[in-house]
Amino acid sequence: MSSEKITRGPLEIDSALSSFIEMKVLDGLAIEPLEFWDKFGAFLKEYKILADQFLKSRDDIQSLIDQWHIERKDEVHDEDSYKSFLADIGYILPRPQTVTVNTNNVDPEIAAVAAPQLVVPIDNARYALNAANARWGSLYDALYGTDIISDADGAEATGPYNPKRGAKVIEYTRTLLDKHFPLLSLSHEDSLSYRIVNQNLIVATTNGDATLVDKEQFIGYTGNTDSPESIFLRKNNLHIEIIIDPKDQIGSTDSANIADVMVESAVSTIMDCEDSVATVDAEDKVTAYANWLGLMKGTLETSFIKGSQTIIRKLNPDSLITLANGEQGIIRRRSLLLVRNVGMHLTTDMITVDGESVHETLIDAVVTTLCGMHDLIKADHLKNSPAGSIYIVKPKMHGPDEVAMADKMFSTIESMLSLNPNTIKIGIMDEERRTSLNLLACIEAASERVVFINTGFLDRTGDEIHTSMEAGPVVPKTEMKTQQWLSAYENINVDEGLEAGLLGHGQIGKGMWARPDDMADMLKEKISHPLAGASCAWVPSPTAATLHSLHYFDVNVADVQRSLEDRELTSRELMLRIPTLEAGRELSPQEINSELRNNAQGILGYVSRWVGQGVGCSKVPDINDVQLMEDRATLRISSQHITNWLHHGVITEEQIHNTMQEMAALVDDQNSDDPDYIPMSDDLNESISYQAALALIFEGRDQSNGYTEFLLTERRQRMKASLAKKSDI
């Protein structure tokens, strides 16, 4: 871990970070380092004061809410009185009469295309490149390798290739082609060849030639008209590519020589510096920034061993095709990239001002913008934003005043770096209750740069529990999704995005599918997101993106959104229905034990990797060995839930300790095949990971807004120091 500091005026900068900025980031931007540090120092001084004020305001408001509940703990909850109180303290603000989003220079992937969205940890170059290249995915691979295709009748995914399973994949795909790109009277299932005649797609079948019912769906091709190498079709602004190759293992046995069907999948991707990473010092942060810089320059590469081969991964170039009208066209092969900065609550000593730590989000905002400038100045090759924008997602903002500060901050950065106004676009994470209750006002506060709003069940629930900590014991976590506040929250996010005119300017998003191995269930359930009017929804992997994209072929989201514009608005007061146990309800010992064990195992499973290995997001087995994609949002809700039950006497400290000890042994066993895993139960008192998990529970009420990062970061830093000391011995 780097500790040497470089002095630049009032700034003390970690040498690893200063060298990276001066030698890598500023190189090619015509910005002099000393001038930059001078302006950066002034920026940090100004916005550190503002950030401190907002954080104090958060704590003051929470104290007032806690006291309100404490004073009425023996009374029946009065919703009207509660609402008036929240309005009096400025927690609920008047709803704006009209809001109009005026964001310009937005790329179509955000403004016009409804599709899956990946979120990927930026500190892992291989994962980042995988996601950036996940704009297109093999439908054959996605079907063959998941539970979408049944193992019945000898169709198991065994060996290098099982022809019986392959036949099921091909049948499934041909059925999809008939569903979304139907032929006049005939079927893709009977196709023998594809060719282009007079700018039309002609499909030869066993029953004669056929054309598409909607000839406009044919976009273009590669190769020649008589024997094309690929065919491009489009529906609902999404493309598929039929790959034709008679020499391919699959294509050689296919009646029409179709080797694969590629689906436009993760049209946009959030490169994450926040909840899915464990970056706790300058060394970690430079790794994250360097990957973002490489993506923006188009130079990021990584290599890895697969079998006996060394694979080099880099960004996919765009493809030239012949359009249906005979002209030349371009097919984008890379996802449009956004970057998520950290929340305002985190401070760091990577840079200090007059000896004081600064808010990490301020460093993120400037450095990720600097990296994004390399995309703005480079030629068209591997360009991220042809529209000339830098997309930054801001998490964990509390209400419109904080959004307004972010908007002002980005204006200051644009001026500081000589960028055009509103070059930096903002994504507003709707994951804190004060933002949800004032969402329209939040959108108004950034109406000329907002491109994204979304819902996130886990963080939003974590904030719900912490905000109402003194109101009483909350319902079991499994019941949270049935609570009225949650359905109101999901509906209002869409309603207010539509009311503000976000369409054509930005995305309305929904949250993550957390079970990456359960794709059959995802295909059944996640269609609810486009049906709800969301133009994007998060997925945990490129394979999931390919399969979730099928929902956007099924659902014309633009039509859904138009149908929702006139529906009756959901009352935001419904979000004030606190999810506490009904009066008189007694949970059984079995219910309590099950909930406690589930939460404890989830906390330990995640924390043991975050603290022990620096892994911020991965597939973590739950108590039933079901693989779940976990990040800090999951940890926030689980830790706050136990904290709440402990505070209200539903469980005891002894129960927690006994259960945590039991679950530590279980988690150690679940990770026994990982040579880099550090067991906890060998010595629970000395285990940094285990003690971190306990702290999240027993110190949970004292953590601002229930955030987990403060405790995690300190323990991870301690773990890194311990490992470094051992390696020196």
Residues 44/358, Cβ–Cβ less than 8 Å: yes
Q: Give burial (CB, 10 Å; 0-12/13-18/19+) of 47.
A: buried
The residue from 576, 602, 632 where one domain ends is 576
> 468 and 328, same structural domain?
yes
> 565 and 611, same structural domain?
no
**Alpha-helical runs (H) found in 417-480:** 433-437, 439-445, 457-467
Cα–Cα distances (Å) from 711 to 398, 558, 694, 718, in that order, read: 21, 43, 10, 11
Structural element, H or E, at residue 689: helix 688-698
Rounded to 10 degrees, the C-alpha dihedral 113/116/122/123 comes to -160
Residues 605/670, Cβ–Cβ less than 8 Å: yes
Arithmetic mean of pLDDT, 623-630: 93
The answer to whether residue 20 is domain-embedded is no
pLDDT at 729 (0 to 100): 66
Token pair 């956004």: residue: 338
The yes-or-no verdict on residue 82 having pLDDT over 90 is yes
407 is catalytic: no
The answer to whether residue 559 is domain-embedded is yes
Rounded percentage of the chain residues whose pLDDT exceeds 70: 99
281 is catalytic: no
Which residue type sits at 511?
G
Which residue type sits at 332?
R
pLDDT at 727 (0 to 100): 77
> 274 and 213, same structural domain?
no
The answer to whether residue 61 is domain-embedded is no
Q: Measured on CA atoms in the order 181, 185, 190, 195, is the torsion positive or negative?
A: negative
CATH number of the domain where residue 151 is located: 2.170.170.11
CA distance 80 to 354: 47
Q: What string of DSSP letters covers 205-229?
A: ETTEEEEBSSGGGEEEEEE-SSSEE
Rounded percentage of the chain residues whose pLDDT exceeds 90: 95
pTM above 0.75, yes or no: yes
Which of these, 372, 359, 378, 380, lies nearest to 420 by C-alpha position? 372
Which of these, 324, 350, 643, 696, lies nearest to 468 by C-alpha position? 643
Structure-block tokens of residue 256: 């029409």
* Beta-strand relationship, 618-621 and 309-314: unpaired
CA distance 375 to 359: 26
Note down the domain range covering 163: 138-264
The residue from 264, 291, 326 where one domain ends is 264
Structural element, H or E, at residue 681: none
Structure-block tokens of residue 599: 């939460």
> 272 and 247, same structural domain?
no
> 287 and 382, same structural domain?
yes
pLDDT at 635 (0 to 100): 96
> 374 and 479, same structural domain?
yes
Arithmetic mean of pLDDT, 51-79: 97
pLDDT at 64 (0 to 100): 98
Residue 306: which pLDDT band, with cuts at 50, 70 and 90? confident
> 202 and 114, same structural domain?
no
Q: Give burial (CB, 10 Å; 0-12/13-18/19+) of 697.
A: buried
Which residue type sits at 330?
I
pLDDT at 532 (0 to 100): 97
The answer to whether residue 199 is domain-embedded is yes
CATH number of the domain where residue 324 is located: 3.20.20.360
Cα–Cα distances (Å) from 154 to 142, 149, 168, 284, 607, in that order, read: 19, 12, 11, 47, 41
CA distance 243 to 241: 6
pLDDT digits (tens, 9 = 90+) for 346-377: 999 999 999 999 999 999 999 999 999 999 99
> 319 and 250, same structural domain?
no
* Beta-strand relationship, 238-244 and 258-264: antiparallel
Which residue type sits at 647?
H
Q: Give burial (CB, 10 Å; 0-12/13-18/19+) of 357.
A: middle
Arithmetic mean of pLDDT, 168-176: 98
Which of these, 227, 93, 249, 232, lies nearest to 170 by C-alpha position? 249
Number of domains in the chain: 3
Which residues pair with residue 544 across a beta bridge?
A: none
CA distance 419 to 401: 24
The residue from 543, 576, 609 where one domain ends is 576
> 174 and 107, same structural domain?
no
Could you write out the three-class secondary structure of 338-386? EEECCCCCCEEEEEEECCEEEEHHHHHHHHHHHHHHHHHHCCCCCCCCC
The 8 Å CB, 24+ separation contacts for 420-424 are 420/388, 422/103, 422/104, 422/105, 422/448, 422/449, 423/105, 423/376, 423/388, 423/389, 423/390, 424/369, 424/372, 424/389, 424/390, 424/392, 424/449
Q: Measured on CA atoms in the order 461, 462, 464, 470, is the torsion positive or negative?
A: positive
The answer to whether residue 612 is domain-embedded is yes
The yes-or-no verdict on residue 538 having pLDDT over 70 is yes
Beta strands in 527-657, from DSSP E residues, in sequence order:
536-539, 618-621, 627-630
Arithmetic mean of pLDDT, 219-227: 97
The answer to whether residue 220 is domain-embedded is yes
pLDDT digits (tens, 9 = 90+) for 114-136: 999 999 999 999 999 999 999 99
Residue 725: which pLDDT band, with cuts at 50, 70 and 90? confident
For the chain, what is the radius of gyration of the CA atoms? 26
Residues whose CB falls within 8 Å of the CB of residue 389, separated by 6 or more in sequence, listed in order: 105, 106, 107, 423, 424, 425, 451
pLDDT at 381 (0 to 100): 85
> 125 and 142, same structural domain?
no
Structure-block tokens of residue 630: 């976990």
Distance of CA 166 to the CA centre of its chain: 32
Which residues pair with residue 452 across a beta bridge?
A: 427, 507
CA distance 265 to 174: 18
The answer to whether residue 582 is domain-embedded is no
Arithmetic mean of pLDDT, 518-544: 98
CA distance 623 to 615: 20
Q: Which DSSP symbol is given to 99? A: -
> 465 and 442, same structural domain?
yes
pLDDT at 566 (0 to 100): 85
Catalytic one of 135, 332, 340, 716: 340
Mean pLDDT of the chain: 96
Catalytic one of 332, 631, 632, 668: 631
CATH number of the domain where residue 652 is located: 1.20.1220.12
The yes-or-no verdict on residue 556 having pLDDT over 90 is yes
Which of these, 700, 649, 706, 638, lies nearest to 467 by C-alpha position? 706
Residues 493/454, Cβ–Cβ less than 8 Å: yes
The answer to whether residue 145 is domain-embedded is yes
Arithmetic mean of pLDDT, 482-491: 97
Buried b vs exposed e over 500-517: b needs ≥16 C-beta within 10 Å? bbbbebbbbbbbbbbbbb
> 434 and 538, same structural domain?
yes
Cα–Cα distances (Å) from 366 to 53, 371, 413, in that order, read: 20, 9, 7
Task: Indicate the SS3 state at residue 585.
Answer: coil
pLDDT at 1 (0 to 100): 47
Residues whose CB falls within 8 Å of the CB of residue 654, separated by 6 or more in sequence, listed in order: none
**Helical packing angle, 688-698 and 632-647, nearest 10°:** 50
Token pair 């769906």: residue: 217
